[in-house]
Amino acid sequence: MPVICADGIVTRYANYRENDRILSIFTIDYGRMDVKARGCRKPQSPLVNVCQPFVFGQFEIFSGKERSVVNACEIKETFYPIREDYERFSIGSVMLRLTHDAAMENEPNKPLFSLLYHALSFLAYGTSAPKDLLCCFLVRYLNATGYRPAITTCAQCGRDIRGDAVVRFLPRGGAACSACSQYGEPISKTALEGMRRMLIMEDDEMDRVKLSDSVRKEILHHLSAYTSASLEYGMRALSILESNIVPPSTTPMEEGNSDA
């Protein structure tokens, strides 16, 4: 059977039979891979720490006739602090879910991978507010998946709206001038400028975003409405923020090499 080595982040799992899991891994080179992890729920399995959401590693995968099977993994990063804080965990889960839903098999999306990797790194180890990272992730995610909202020009007439006194933000399309739309909620210049800046920065600058409470609230509100209306899976992913999910484990996982 052919063996491939793929660097990727576990975005989801589903338990299967007594001790197995189906893992979804968002890989750099192959896009999303759904693979079987046999025996990974047995405490003594070398895969027990690998088959968890957020784990970034190099996976050794046998591609069989039917579903591929993960044989071993060298863990590079677990982003463990995300599991120790309820807000970070729910925001990280939204990031994983949105990435999972956008990722296609055999379709690598390196900008999206880089975005997820950096967002999880800052969420785990950075100093910025988790909700600021979510704002930044959302606008950059929409861009990386081809759904960037209009921010600088009107979504309908294409005119530059940076000098306009009143701009509205439509859940489908984004910013619109008042001549084009009397509907949709107004959005402040500060919020639009914030989104513009978050869009043009590099992934490794994401922790520089510092929003005021009111601007953060405004951006989150508009981007959530936009994501829910524009992506068929957007609302379901964002509903994680309102659900009461708790981190699955409060005991530290063993770090390090988990090769079989």
Q: Does 180 bind Zn ion (CB under 5 A)?
A: yes
- The contact pattern for Zn ion, residues 104-143, with x = CB under 5 A and - = no contact, is ----------------------------------------
- DSSP assignment, residue 120? H
Q: Which stretch binds Zn ion (CB under 5 A): 32-40, 134-142, 174-182, 207-215?
A: 174-182
Whether residue 39 contacts residue 47, with contact meaning beta carbons closer than 8 Å, is answered with yes
Whether residue 97 contacts residue 170, with contact meaning beta carbons closer than 8 Å, is answered with no
Q: Does 58 bind Zn ion (CB under 5 A)?
A: no
**Closer of 87 and 164 to Zn ion (Cβ):** 164
Q: Does 96 bind Zn ion (CB under 5 A)?
A: no
Q: Does 209 bind Zn ion (CB under 5 A)?
A: no
**Residue 132 three-state SS:** helix
Q: Does 151 bind Zn ion (CB under 5 A)?
A: no
Near Zn ion by CB under 5 A: residue from 133, 154, 170, 206: 154
**Closer of 186 and 256 to Zn ion (Cβ):** 186
Whether residue 6 contacts residue 27, with contact meaning beta carbons closer than 8 Å, is answered with yes
Of 109, 122, 113, 124, the residue nearest 204 (C-alpha)? 122
**Closer of 177 and 206 to Zn ion (Cβ):** 177
Whether residue 101 contacts residue 233, with contact meaning beta carbons closer than 8 Å, is answered with yes
**Closer of 1 and 157 to Zn ion (Cβ):** 157
Axis-axis angle for helices 189-200, 213-230 (nearest 10): 70
Minimum Å distance from CB 208 to Zn ion? 32
Minimum Å distance from CB 234 to Zn ion? 24
Q: Which stretch binds Zn ion (CB under 5 A): 21-29, 100-108, 139-147, 180-188?
A: 180-188
**Closer of 135 and 180 to Zn ion (Cβ):** 180
The amino acid occupying position 252 is P
Minimum Å distance from CB 154 to Zn ion? 3
- DSSP assignment, residue 221? H
Q: Does 1 bind Zn ion (CB under 5 A)?
A: no
How would you write 94-109 as a 3-class SS string? HHHHHHHHHCEECECC
Q: List Cβ neighbours of 65 (8 Å cut-off, separation of 6 or more).
A: none
Near Zn ion by CB under 5 A: residue from 19, 128, 152, 156: 156
Number of residues binding to Zn ion, judged by CB under 5 A: 5
Pairing mode, strands 3-16 and 68-77: unpaired
Q: Does 157 bind Zn ion (CB under 5 A)?
A: yes
Whether residue 132 contacts residue 140, with contact meaning beta carbons closer than 8 Å, is answered with no
Tell me the C-alpha distance between 28 and 216, whole Å.
Answer: 31
**Closer of 112 and 195 to Zn ion (Cβ):** 195
Can you give the binding site for Zn ion, defined by CB under 5 A? 154, 156-157, 177, 180
